[in-house]
Chain A
Amino acid sequence: MYPDERVVRFIEENFIPVTIHIKEKPDLFQRFHVSWTPTQLILDPDGTERYRIEGFLPVEDFLAQLELGLGRLLFEHEDYEGAERRFHAVCDEHPRAGAAPEACYWAGVAAYKAKHGPQPLRETALLLRERYPDSEWTRKASVWAA
């Protein structure tokens, strides 16, 4: 399980890791509304679900999703600068990952929230248009460049 060194290091550094096997604790699948495997949940220390990853992903995509999930967690706690750093880490360091356009989008939103100005939104819209012209996130951000 998780044989990649980067994944191991990232999980050990950033999370309290828990594994649940369907044959050992099927009741926990119901408790957390999990109906497919593999599924990973990122929970606040109080147990609130902040992010969900469903299905297998290659290493680069999985790392990007974990980072994006941490960004969403920080965003929900209104730590916009911390969230922006996490989103940028995906947007800049994993630009080919499936999560990258979404991370770029949220980096713009977090920067807007942290700096209280619209310029990051416009810059994000332009970046998305250039880098990911076919992404849904580019279409969502298009209103910022109008």
Chain B
Amino acid sequence: MTTISWNKDVDAALAEARTRNKPLLVDFSAAPM
């Protein structure tokens, strides 16, 4: 089963998004950890 490579740092992910010209999907969760 493939899994999602989640980033945890939104600003680092934004920098990557600008480099790769790809949108961000930001998931806000309160699910049990």
User: Interface of A with B (CB < 8 Å)?
Assistant: 1-3, 5, 8-9, 11-12, 14-24, 28-29, 32, 34, 37-47, 50, 66, 70, 73
Contacts and interface: CB of A to CB of B under 8 A. Distances in A.
A45 B25 contact: no
A41 B25 contact: yes
B1 A5 contact: yes
Interface string B1-33: 111111111100110111011111111111101
Determine chain A's interface SS by DSSP, over half rule. mixed
B25 A15 contact: yes
Interface of B: 1-10, 13-14, 16-18, 20-31, 33
Nearest to B31: A1
Contact of B5 (A12, A20, A38, A43): A12
A18 B29 contact: no
Contacts of A2: 4
B19 to A, nearest CB: 8
Given A19-B27, A42-B23, 19 more contacts: A11-B25, A15-B25, A16-B16, A17-B27, A19-B29, A22-B28, A22-B29, A34-B28, A39-B28, A40-B26, A41-B28, A43-B14, A43-B23, A43-B26, A45-B14, A45-B20, A46-B14, A47-B14, A50-B23
